[in-house]
Chains A and B, each alone.
Chain A
């Protein structure tokens, strides 16, 4: 639980960022938004994959099965596929602008999946347990478990943010080096 829940949170939060970057790059054509979207995609895909894998590893002893086509699990799998689609689409075109536009549209369309993931355990009768933590009520778990979960979630969020900043900085440095190489012929 201390890994699965933070990974699910990270995958969802990363997708919100991806959609936000998509909107920024589509509406205002902000160049940094496209770079952040390019780098956030693989990180979110990793978080979604880890969420699915740790959930599956937890499901076997808990539910007696690795996988069920449950609403929560299926909507999370859809999120993973959306990430994979974004990662592939943004790199699929010879003209990077076209790739960025197509990926931004995909990211914006995929936002529909986020409320489905969140409310799937309420809308449908699922094998997955209902939310243990809500914004309004007290957590449905012992405080001795809630505090480590909170620490893990904050820790993984900060790690994800640091990784995103490192990758974005690397991408910007690569672009600067490339533009320098194209500007003048080297000796």
Chain B
């Protein structure tokens, strides 16, 4: 392992900058993808429920 005396100058500030941006990227990308997935599933559910209500009178007529 490299001797800390030979680490690049101000490595803590560099690490903090990269850490901040990577964290923000992970949070933003993760939350956006999760929202897209939830929205897609909710729309699919609503479409299924609508199709079910649309088919219900037909069934009642048959009965």
Specify whether A and B are partners: yes
User: Residues of A with Cβ closer than 8 Å to B?
Assistant: 3-4, 7, 43, 46, 50, 53-54, 57-58, 60-61, 159, 163, 166-167, 169-171, 173-174, 176-177, 180-181, 183-187
Q: With A57-B16, A58-B13, A167-B35 in contact, is A187–B43 under 8 Å at CB?
A: no
Interchain pairs with CB closer than 8 A, number: 74
* A163 proximity list for chain B (CB < 8 A): 28-29, 32
Q: With A50-B21, A181-B46, A187-B49 in contact, is A170–B35 under 8 Å at CB?
A: yes
Q: With A54-B21, A58-B13, A61-B10 in contact, is A173–B39 under 8 Å at CB?
A: yes
Closest 5 CB pairs of A and B: A173-B39, A61-B10, A170-B36, A177-B43, A180-B46
- B1-36 at interface with A (beta carbon < 8 Å): 9-10, 13, 16-18, 20-21, 24-25, 28-29, 32-33, 35-36
**Count of chain B residues near A, Cβ 8 A:** 29
- What is the CA–CA distance of A145 and B59 in the complex, to the nearest angstrom? 71
Q: List 26 A-B contacts (CB under 8 A).
A: A3-B17, A4-B17, A7-B21, A46-B24, A53-B20, A54-B17, A54-B20, A54-B21, A57-B17, A57-B20, A58-B13, A61-B13, A167-B32, A167-B35, A167-B36, A170-B36, A170-B39, A174-B43, A177-B42, A177-B46, A180-B43, A180-B46, A183-B50, A184-B50, A186-B53, A187-B53
